[in-house]
Every structure is written in C-alpha cells, then in structure tokens.
Amino acid sequence: MNVSMNAMPTFALLWTDAVLLAALLALGLYVLWVRRTPERRAAWAKVGQDATALGSALVLAGFVLLAALDSVHLTMDGRTTSLLDSVLARPLAMREVSYSAPLACYGFQKETLPSGQRGFPRLKFGCKHLEQPEQDWLPDVLGRAALGLGGGLALAWGVWAVLLRSWRFSVPASPALRAARWTCMTLAGLTGLVAALSGHYHVLGTDRTGNDVLYQALKSVRTAFVIGTLSTVATLPFAVVLGLLAGYFRGWVDALIQYLYTLLSSVPNVLLIAAFVLMVQVQLDAHPERFATALERADVKIFLLCVILGVTGWAGLCRLLRAETLRLREMDYVQAAHAFGVGHGRILARHVLPNVMHLVLITTVLDFSGLVLYEAVLSYVGVGVDPSLNSFGGMINLARSEMSRDPLVWWSFASAFGVMVSLVLAANLFADGVRDAFDPRDNRRSTTH
C-alpha cells in the first residue's frame, strides 16, 4: 500500500476547543457535586418537573451536540476539519455556481443556456438524480420527506419505549415527561427529514457563492456557543472575586471597586469592544507567521473576542454579588464565624460564596442568550468574529444586500434568523426554569402557600 503516514489524520486542539473541553469538565464536576448535595439535587429536580424547561433543555442538548461535533478537529494534508464537517460532507461538496432557492432544481438567476436562449440553468448537484424535474420533483420531495420523517419518528418512539419500560417503576408519568417525549420525537423527525433530503437537494438553498445555507447555519451554532460560554468563563473571575470583596470588606475596597465598575458601565460597550477588537486585528495582521492555517488565526481572534467581552462585561454581575454579600455578612452565622476567629478567606469560601452561587448560576444562564445576540450585532457591524468563520451575525450581514435585491433572496437571512431564534428561545425558557427553581424568594413563597 502506498499510503504514507502523513495521510493519517491527527487531532488538532484549538484554543476554543480547549476552553470548551474545560467547560464540559467543569460541568461534569458540577453534576457530581449536585448529586452529593440534597438541596441542589432537589432544585434541579424542580427544573426537571417543569415541562417547558425540560423541553427547552432537550433542544439545547441538540445544539450542544452540534457544537461538540464541530469542536473535535482533525488535521490531514495540512487541512483542519471537524467531525461535523465529516457528517455534512455531502452538503459541503454540493457547491453550486450561485444562488438557488430551497429544494430548487434550477438556479435563481437567468443565464445564457447552451441552446443560446436565456433561462434558469439546471443545478450541478440539486435534483441531479431527476431526469424530468418538472414532473418528478414533487413526488420525489414528498416521498423522501415522508421516509425521513417516518424513520426519525420511529427511531425516537422505539427509544422512548425502551426507556419507559426501564423507568416504569421509578419515574411516574408527568406533563414534563410527555413534553420531553414529544420534543425528542419532533427533533428526531426534523433530523430524519433533513437527512433524507440533504443528499439530493439544498434544503435551505445556496448563497451568492453557491455554498449550502444549511451547512452554514449548522456551523454557526458552534460560534454562538463559543461566544456564550467563553465570554461567561472570562466574566466570572472578575465579577465573583470583586463582588465578594466589595461587599465583604466595604470601606475603601468597596469604594474602589464601585468606581471601577461605574467607570466601565459609563462607556458604551459597543465602542469599547470595537476599539479592543481593532487593536487585536492590527496585531494579528502584523504577525501572520504565528499561525499555520487560516482556521488557527480565526480561532485566536474569536478567543480574544471572548476575553474582551468578559473583561468588559462583568459590571452587572459584580454589582449584584456585592449587594448580596453586604446582606450575607450581617447574618448570624457569619458573625459567629468572626467571633470564633475564623479567617476572612475561609468565611468567604465556606459561608458567603456557596450562598451567592444561585445568583451566579441564574445570571450565567440568562446572559448566555444575550451574548449570542451580541455576537450577531458585532458581526453585523463588522467587529465580530473572523469572516472565514460561519456565524449568525456574518450570515445576516451578508444577507443585507440580498434582502434589497429584486427578486428577493430571503432564505439566507431566514435560515440564520430561525436557527438563532430557536437557540436563544430555548436558552431563555430554560433560564426561566432555572431561575424559578433556584431563586430562594420563589422557594419561600412556594413553602408558605
């Protein structure tokens, strides 16, 4: 065999891959901690009993799976790809010349055909298997859609039948369980439908350069998760440490920290972030030799963008934690710890920090969707992620000219907007369930009634 060792793929760990892996590891440790803490386990059980929150969590789990597949990178022959690229290899290879509408067999723009007449050309890949698209297109689309939808629903139904048989004596039937079942069946049905059509059609059409819009929308999910997760990771150290110190020590420490976050809040965030991003862009352009591939350069840029978002976005959570720490330091158990000579560090770590973690959790989950939308705004104004990376903001930015042309090219904007809204809506609904379960005031109200 003439296969060289250089042809073997090797794992490539990017900066954002490492941070996402660390975040998943931290999530796993948090799950172990929750299992050992009855109070936290009871709170998450309340989230699981909320039908809306549980259904939204399953939708988020689907997006997390997409982001995870797109975060495992392999390098072969000097080219770095992800596992998601391998899954979507067929839509990626079906590159047309220019625009085509969803599920279309012909191009969107008229051209001079080989016969010398002006008309819509046949696509190179879309509907390639049909000899007479005018007659065979509708039956073929309906047949493949029904087959994919039925296969996905049958698979989901079978899995749920096995799970319910194993849970029959331990998990009672509930509205949340029914909502979870229908959510899983809906996701499985949509996945089967898209999988059955994407090998022969462009399900969401193609863009100006003929690239598949479905591929771009799915690849944008990782960018959204990177922005939401990494920015939160960069925010927490500043917000938690400074908020606890300000509320606990008061005096000149509190005055200094208040001055810092008041000063930071007085500067428009977009202008501040744009200034930092432009400085980073200048440094990256001045040292192109530091990056082996364009993907590594784009990954470093989005990593630094997340750091910038974290450094400039900690003021709100810091202010909230400061106020809560001011209240906690006057509690009897904290005063008793002072009387027994317990050190300040131990009091903060053992008595104050655990009692503000519900605020950190609620704010983190709520801010995730806001950061996803923030990325779209930054990319729209040209100071977001690298243009070589797929993102919702980049897709919407490129669709500006498409929405003003005649005839209207609507599918790129609609696809980016639809997937982004689905992600943000699921995150917001899940955040509402987490807030209701972990907010002590809601818990006190529920116990009094």
For residue 196, the number of C-alpha atoms closer than 13 Å in the C-beta half-sphere is 19
Cβ(407)–Cβ(427) under 8 Å? no
**What CA–CA distance (Å, rounded) separates 49 from 176?**
5
The torsion angles phi and psi of 339, rounded to 5 degrees, stand at: -65, -30
Mean pLDDT (the chain, rounded):
82
Q: Could you read off the pLDDT of 316-362 as tens digits, one per residue?
A: 889 999 988 988 888 888 888 878 878 888 888 888 888 888 788 77
Q: Could you read off the pLDDT of 260-308 as tens digits, one per residue?
A: 888 888 877 777 787 887 787 787 777 777 777 777 888 888 888 888 8
H or E element in which residue 300 lies: helix 294-312
CB neighbours of 70 closer than 8 A, spacing ≥ 6? 82, 83, 84, 85, 219, 221, 222
- Determine the pLDDT at residue 372: 79
CA distances (Å), origin 18, targets 13, 210, 230, 296, 312: 6, 33, 10, 13, 22
**What pTM did the predictor assign?**
0.84
pLDDT band at 2 (very low <50, low <70, confident <90, very high): very low
Domain with CATH 1.10.3720.10 in the chain: 219-448
At residue 413, the 3 state secondary structure works out as helix
Number of neighbouring beta carbons within 10 Å of residue 290: 11
Cβ(120)–Cβ(225) under 8 Å? no
* Structural domain 219-448, CATH architecture: Orthogonal Bundle (1.10)
Pairing of strands 118-119, 10-12: unpaired
